[in-house]
Amino acid sequence: MNLGKTLLIAPFLLLCTVLLAACGGGSGSSSSTTSGGSVTLYNGQHEQTTGLLVKAFEHQTHIKVKIRSGDEAELGNQIIQEGSNSPADVFYTENTPVLEELQEKGLLAPVAAGTLSSVPRKDDAASGDWVGVSARVSALVYNTSKISASALPSSILELASPQWKGKVGFAPSETDFQPLVTSIIKFDGKAAAEKWLKGLQANSRVYPDNETVVAQVNNGESTIGPINHYYWYRLRDEQGASGTHSALHYYNPGDPGDLVNISGAAVLRSSKNQADAQKLLAFLVSNAGQQTIAHSQSWEYPLRPGVSPAAGLAPLSSFHATSLTPAELGNGSEALAMEQRLGLL
Amino acid sequence: MSSHASTDQLTGRIGRSWSGRRRWPLVSATGGAVVTAAVLLPVIFLIVQAQQSGWNQVHHLLLRHSTAVLLWNSVRLAVACTLLCAVLGVGAAWLVERTDVPMRRMWAVLLVLPLGIPDFVVGFGWISIDPALHGYLAAVMIMTLSLYPLVYLPVASAMANVDASLEESARSLGLSPLRSFLRVTLRQVWPAVLGGCLLVTLGLLAEFGAFEIVQYQTFTVEIFTEFKLGFDAAAACALSLVLVLISVAVLGGELALSGRGRVFRAGPGAARAGTRTRLGRWRVPSLAALGALAGLALGVPVGSLVYWLTQGNSSTLPSTSILAAAGHTAAYSAAAAGIATVLAIPVCTLSIRHRNRLTILIERLSYLPMALPGLVIALGLVAFSVRHAFSLYQSSFELIVAYAILFLPLAVVGVRSAMAQASPRLEEVGRSLGSGPAEVFRRITLPLIAPGLGAAFALVFISSSTELTATLLLRPTGVNTLATQFWTYTTDFSYGAAAPYAGLMVLISAVPAYLLSRRMRTISRIGQGA
């Protein structure tokens, strides 16, 4: 009987301690951050890069940043549900479609003109509601022991041809994939894009995310896989030279696969800390912020003119020529509908 | 027996009667109302959201060919996994609790642990053993191996509590061990078996993450696509209502299977462990079977963790305190497990001791969270709290409440089987000897259902400790748990840095599993001493 009682009482006691600890912890941290204002950042970017950027920003401005990291799409849905009550001041994402979606719903505030002009105007929102911060280039990862570089396709369209049957791995549910489909729609039309998707579907293994695509090409389960370039560099960092059995291949310039994806940031219209939030955005595209990105081992391209990318990366200007603008990429709904129709999602 | 049932129903339904008797049902009724409100919150969110959508679009989505394929994928997976989990869960529980198989304590802990391993680790482990592992059979195998503890744990705790005298009578009347098991033992643990199967079925309907890695797509994929790529919460919620409809059918089916048969003990009130079945020459094969199950379900994922640990770790992520993350995980999970277990008591008291249409409905409703994707429940809580309880938004309290709602069905299953085994006669005797309802509950009911409470607590604790989706949305800004840190590192390829977090999740899950196994031993000892 006593055992039964303790079994019931123990959780209660635990709950009380937790609640007390939570309340105590909460009030303690908020009172200690009064010195230079504070902003809340909803972070859909890789935490590594964001952490370094925020640290440098806090050091420079004494504005405290509370980082809330998550999947960018889930954070986007969360902001939509929060509406005008959102605790978020700034939203930093890996891709632009989620920002375009929030902009369409009227949830973003205009970005300060000086911030927008720190990076090439084509890398910002057409509306001026978000600013481009960094870029990734679409590429093909291939297993070096299964195929030689000379046999690789020069166009992404070739991935759908029968010679690649059973050799391709890709992640159609990743936010990185729709831009490729959108790009093919814009270059070659809907019919061609649909035909390409069907061919790719017949040739490929479907993976949950880009991390898995790179890993499975690297270990030889798949021979080639379309990804953004930085996934491969990060895998190489983790695996070291001895564990890396893959390399990157870029499509021909002007190919629909020769695509640059922008990572951007925005201030929420509902933010009660507009000034500090704008300061954070300005920092992300400042020389200091962009240098941080270039040296953070995130392997992303800084966008600010004059800041060079990490050593070993081909210059961004060699890809950029025909890539779609974020406005042309939009929120990706057309590509999404096509993928759904074909049962890829 | 039937006259008792109807008296129960009358006192449960009609307000007047002796004043003393009314107090306790009132407490249960309040608890039932709280549970109903908590469970209906996400469902109301679904309906409100779904109404904002063009139903046209939903129609369009539902009538696609691929939707039918995905629904069929969900159903055939749920059926196969549920049957396999039932066989593995009941078999393992019987070996550990009712036979003289060696190293019972160790098995009791090891067999529960697969529930505490993140899906990602499980999937990764299997793929690294066999990269060609894909499709239906792979999904059935992997999901069975990670979900069978949902059957094992409630059934094991029910078996520890089985009335030995019934089994002994059956054997003495000439029933073979097998027939005595089927006709007496299994019958007594039937609510636990059905409950566990219900959890597996409903959980699989809502499952998403685990299948990606074996390339098996289910209906939930459509919901996530609408949310994450289409940002169309309305369409996603409308599709989720389809899951609710399927769950209603499953819940109705389970109700029909459970019947109205009473399983409580006829004999002595205190649990008394009977003689365990001697395995004899089946000892080695039985050990091998348990070893194979634990080896596959636990060994493969733990193997991949060990492999990660040996890999280089180049992470440049700021190292946060692993102990702080572990502390948050343990505290949140324990609090959620406590709340869910306590809330499950009135639900089961009402549906078993005061059985009528309304109380059965409340119990059925309490299973719904299991069949909804965690993202739907978490977004429902976001939408609700941001408007009506902003001071609680993204607080520890809200996260704990979210866990408690998400995993309430696990607690109900744990408590339900114990409550069904406990004889109401003893409570009646207590009342007739002049004890108040609170005292009867404390001195009679509680000790009788204690193993069930322990199982409920352990199930909710373990499931909460690996929860990721709701945690990312609702945790206090800046707070990390083991699951969020694990996620951060794996999305950054830092598997070496991620491994200790997953390892700690497994270790933390071992704590309630170990305490529960000790507790069940204590019961057996008390019984043997008596």
Measure B99 CA to nearest chain A CA, in Å.
25
Closest residue, chain A, to B526 (C-alpha) = A1
Tens digit of pLDDT for each residue in A295-336?
Answer: 888 899 999 999 999 988 888 887 766 677 888 888 788 888
Q: Which helix (H) or strand (E) holds B90?
A: helix B65-98
Residue A169 DSSP SS3: strand
Contact B317 A47 (CB under 8 A): yes
Tens digit of pLDDT for each residue in B232-279?
Answer: 888 888 888 888 999 999 999 988 887 655 555 554 445 555 677 788
Q: Which helix (H) or strand (E) holds A168?
A: strand A168-170
Percentage of chain B exceeding pLDDT 90 = 35
Contact A205 B134 (CB under 8 A): yes
Using the predicted structure, report yes or no on whether residue B283 has a pLDDT greater than 60. Answer: yes
Mutate which of B121, B229, B375 to test chain A, going by most A C-beta atoms within 10 A? B229
Using the predicted structure, report yes or no on whether residue B528 has a pLDDT greater than 70. Answer: no
The rounded distance, in Å, linking the Cα atoms of A297 and A226 is 21
Residues of A with Cβ-Cβ distance to B393 under 8 angstroms: 85, 87
Residue B32 DSSP SS3: helix
Measure B326 CA to nearest chain A CA, in Å.
13
Contact B334 A82 (CB under 8 A): no
Beta-carbon count within 10 A of A318 CB: 11
The answer to ipTM > 0.95 is no
The rounded distance, in Å, linking the Cα atoms of B414 and B367 is 12
The pLDDT value given to residue A340: 79
The rounded distance, in Å, linking the Cα atoms of B140 and B128 is 18
Residues of A with Cβ-Cβ distance to B382 under 8 angstroms: 78, 81-82
Residues of B with Cβ-Cβ distance to A340 under 8 angstroms: 61, 64, 66, 222, 225
Closest residue, chain B, to A12 (C-alpha) = B338
Are the CB atoms for A143 and A223 separated by under 8 Å? yes
Beta-carbon count within 10 A of B179 CB: 12
Contact B396 A18 (CB under 8 A): yes
What mean pLDDT value characterizes chain B? 83
Of B233, B311, B390, the CB nearest to A85: B390
Interface size A-B, in CB pairs within 8 Å, comes to 202
Residues contacting residue B256 through CB under 8 Å, at least 6 positions apart = none
Closest residue, chain A, to B397 (C-alpha) = A19
Measure A52 CA to nearest chain B CA, in Å.
9
The pLDDT value given to residue A322: 67
The pLDDT value given to residue B493: 74
Closest residue, chain A, to B320 (C-alpha) = A51
Residues of A with Cβ-Cβ distance to B495 under 8 angstroms: 238
Beta-carbon count within 10 A of A149 CB: 9
Distance of CA B80 to the CA centre of its chain: 18
Contact B227 A17 (CB under 8 A): no
Tens digit of pLDDT for each residue in B74-111?
Answer: 999 999 999 999 999 999 999 998 888 898 889 999 99
Query: Which H, E and C letters describe B239-302, residue by residue?
Result: HHHHHHHHHHHHHHHHHHHHCCCCCCCCCCCCCCCCCCECCHHHHHHHHHHHHHHHHHHHHHHH
Using the predicted structure, report yes or no on whether residue B17 has a pLDDT greater than 50. Answer: no
What residues pair up with A66 in beta bridges, in sequence order? Answer: A40
The rounded distance, in Å, linking the Cα atoms of B234 and B232 is 5
Residues of A with Cβ-Cβ distance to B315 under 8 angstroms: 48, 238
Of A46, A240, A340, the CB nearest to B492: A46
For chain B, positions 244-303, list CB contacts with chain A under 8 A. none
Of B64, B227, B337, the CB nearest to A77: B227
For chain B, positions 5-34, list CB contacts with chain A under 8 A. none
- The encoded tokens of residue A305 equal 């003119």
Residues contacting residue B48 through CB under 8 Å, at least 6 positions apart = none
DSSP state of A145: T
Tens digit of pLDDT for each residue in B361-387?
Answer: 999 999 999 989 989 999 999 999 998
Tens digit of pLDDT for each residue in A226-242?
Answer: 999 999 998 888 888 88
Which region holds residue A325: left if phi is over 0, alpha if psi is between -120 and 50, else beta?
beta
Contact A87 B394 (CB under 8 A): yes
Percentage of chain B exceeding pLDDT 70 = 86
Using the predicted structure, report yes or no on whether residue B318 has a pLDDT greater than 70. Answer: no
Measure A100 CA to nearest chain B CA, in Å.
11
Contact B318 A207 (CB under 8 A): no
Are the CB atoms for B333 and B457 separated by under 8 Å? no
DSSP H helical ranges for chain A: 2-31, 47-61, 72-82, 97-104, 113-116, 178-188, 190-203, 210-218, 229-243, 274-284, 287-294, 326-329, 333-341
Mutate which of B207, B219, B228 to test chain A, going by most A C-beta atoms within 10 A? B228
The pLDDT value given to residue A329: 81
Are the CB atoms for A307 and A287 separated by under 8 Å? yes
Tens digit of pLDDT for each residue in A69-121?
Answer: 999 999 999 999 999 999 999 999 998 989 999 999 999 999 999 999 999 99
Q: Residue B415's pLDDT band (boundaries 50, 70, 90)?
A: very high
Q: Does B132 touch chain A (CB under 8 A)?
A: yes
Q: Where is pLDDT greater, at A94 or B16?
A: A94
The rounded distance, in Å, linking the Cα atoms of B376 and B379 is 5
Q: Does B435 touch chain A (CB under 8 A)?
A: no
Q: Look up tokens 């057996």; give the residue.
A: B524
Using the predicted structure, report yes or no on whether residue B438 has a pLDDT greater than 60. Answer: yes
Which region holds residue B436: left if phi is over 0, alpha if psi is between -120 and 50, else beta?
beta
For chain B, positions 357-376, list CB contacts with chain A under 8 A. 375
Predicted TM-score of the model (pTM)? 0.86
The pLDDT value given to residue A192: 94
Contact B447 A66 (CB under 8 A): no
Q: Which helix (H) or strand (E) holds B126?
A: helix B119-129
Of B231, B442, B493, the CB nearest to A101: B231
Closest residue, chain A, to B512 (C-alpha) = A7
Residues of B with Cβ-Cβ distance to A11 under 8 angstroms: 334-335, 337-339, 341-342, 457
The residue-averaged pLDDT of B135-160 equals 91
Handedness of CA B474, A54, B315, A231 (dihedral sign): positive
DSSP state of B130: -
Contact A11 B316 (CB under 8 A): no
For chain B, positions 59-88, list CB contacts with chain A under 8 A. 61, 64-66, 69
Orientation of helix A47-61 relative to helix A274-284, angle to 10°? 120
Tens digit of pLDDT for each residue in A123-144?
Answer: 999 999 999 999 999 999 999 9
Q: Does B225 touch chain A (CB under 8 A)?
A: yes
